Structure 1
Amino acid sequence: MAPEGSAVAPRACVVALLGDRVVYVGQDDAGLTAKRTVSLGGRCIVPGFHDAHQHMAWFGASLDEIDLSTPPVHTLADLAGAVAAAAESTPGDAWIVGNGY
């Protein structure tokens, strides 16, 4: 979930290590001094404590479902509106499936 009022989830631009420990994650260097810096050229860091497996088939199936995550859905009224909008274009005997709620 994104922070209140934010359209996207926050991203860290700086990660500081001390020995084998992550000691800082943030948007700026916070006055840190470093023996060495590494620019990743826009690439992503996936630390060892992160489960980086993927569910590509599940993702593909979700493309036909209603996105009920935040954003775009912030309230129960938003959720009901998204389902109602999908119902208008769904045949009477078909299922309406949502994800991300």
Structure 2
Amino acid sequence: MAITSFSILLARKRGILSPALLALEILDQLEDGDRILISEGCTHQRQCGDIGSVQLLRLLKSYTGKELCFRFSSGRSFPEKSELSGFRLSAFDLLRGLRLQKARRRGLGALR
């Protein structure tokens, strides 16, 4: 996946360049059946065409061409460390520092 210099600068400024680069590598290695965690910090009512539950899934499936399995969490909920072991990738609101820290400890790449 191509990334822009702006994306690189923004990721570096936010301190997430390493997990973002790891996530890009993982994207190209995903296989059918791989599990991806979509974890949103907000608690809004999901709507038709929602970014986190519709558009992102469509983008990932289109890019990889694979049949991926998704799990969702929102608000304050986030899977326990023991539950994270089966995920290949996580995508979430990086403004929630705790989510990023938990994903990093597990070795998951992080997309925003």
Given the two structures, how large is their TM-score scaled by the length of structure 2?
A: 0.22
> Which structure has the highest helix share of the two?
2
Give the number of the structure whose alpha-carbon radius of gyration is greater.
1
Given the two structures, how large is their TM-score scaled by the length of structure 1?
A: 0.23
